[in-house]
A = this chain, B = another copy of it.
């Protein structure tokens, strides 16, 4: 690992003079701004700065560009693949003071927000307008962070990922220049799609300072359905059948038997300890009833039991409790253990074989690694429970993650459906992309020739000071 270099003294003095207490170098705040989730080693930045507007971000980046100092944008700190680490040192730009909701255009069903706004705060703000921001990645991430990592979550099967809901962004580029990738048109064929180039670039090409987001009308009705299956294969086949039938799932989640067992223990539920599907539909009252019933019929053809569905909001919350509890329930399976989260995404026809093989592999390696997945997208998560002091177990977990990613690629899938590359997935990105990685590197080199933008993430070998 390259040595961590402290910031040049002149830069420190300039930033301290201008930003005062909004420029911080304490060890605790620095550590908190490195990777703190899952297993990736914490590599803190040299300092943290808290800009309050785009012009301040632009000035900070320009100063750092001049000094050749890396900059790393920071939102809620919830990314899972080391996106926030500072392997080459540098300055963490904490955007959580940029939390203005600049505009809500109810007729156009869009809004303009600063990057530090979290999705829950946006939804609170929107409720009275009858609108909502439909993506739900689990964590209450910032919208800037969600865009930067191309996040998605449980509702992506209907509403898409951040690539689908970000209409345009304002961003500070590596030389401090501020660009805008578009305006508020719902669609555009105007030149290269810089919006989608920045969405998912993990701060390596620019820092998103404003987002124009597509919103949705709060549906008139929503229904939830739940049922158990004898095997993951049967559950997957039921989902495939329902999708082919055209059922517009708003959510369709799969929990494997171990996850259900964990939920039962954690929440004192009494679910059959077998693969479980949880579905949700949004729409008119007749439509969601029709869809839930059609789902039930298809599910039964594939051996579903214990089918339960409702349109009542409280009942719906009860049915969904199993999914919402998963993270803490699984951690509860082994008190004191650390949860390592990894995700892959495969074509749905390969999902059952992928999960079956993963379960077998984890058992062979002596790992507890329950699975919960966004089955409509073929995307699933493993939460691997490890004792952080046990080297052998950590090594087994690493072996497992490497094996799982290779498996996903061999099944025509991707090494990450929604967590991004960061530091953790770099070896698999290379395998997945082949020569296309060279195109990514050429774009990075062209836009960030000094390599100051979040160096060491996504791509290796394009970083400041190398």
Contact = CB atoms under 8 A, between A and B. Distances in A.
Interface of A: 105-110, 130-131, 149-152, 156, 160-161, 163-164, 173, 177-194, 196-197, 199-201, 205, 216-220, 240, 243-246, 248, 282-287, 289-291, 294, 345-349, 376-379, 408-409, 412-421, 425, 428-429, 432-440, 442-447, 458-459
Given A152-B187, A243-B217, A349 B284 contact: no
Q: Which of A189, A291, A433 has the most CB of B within 10 A?
A: A189
Contact of A378 (B186, B349, B443): B186
Identical chains in the assembly? 2
A351 to B, nearest CB: 10
A21 to B, nearest CB: 32
A274 to B, nearest CB: 23
Contacts of A438: 177, 179
A173 B438 CA distance: 11
Contact of A290 (B105, B192, B287, B428): B287
14 contacts: A106-B244, A107-B349, A150-B189, A152-B189, A182-B432, A185-B378, A185-B379, A186-B377, A189-B200, A191-B200, A193-B193, A248-B248, A284-B290, A446-B446
Nearest to A421: B191
Nearest to A179: B436
A109 B157 CA distance: 13
A439 B217 contact: no
Given A164-B160, A246-B218, A201 B192 contact: yes
Contact of A439 (B173, B243, B349, B377): B173
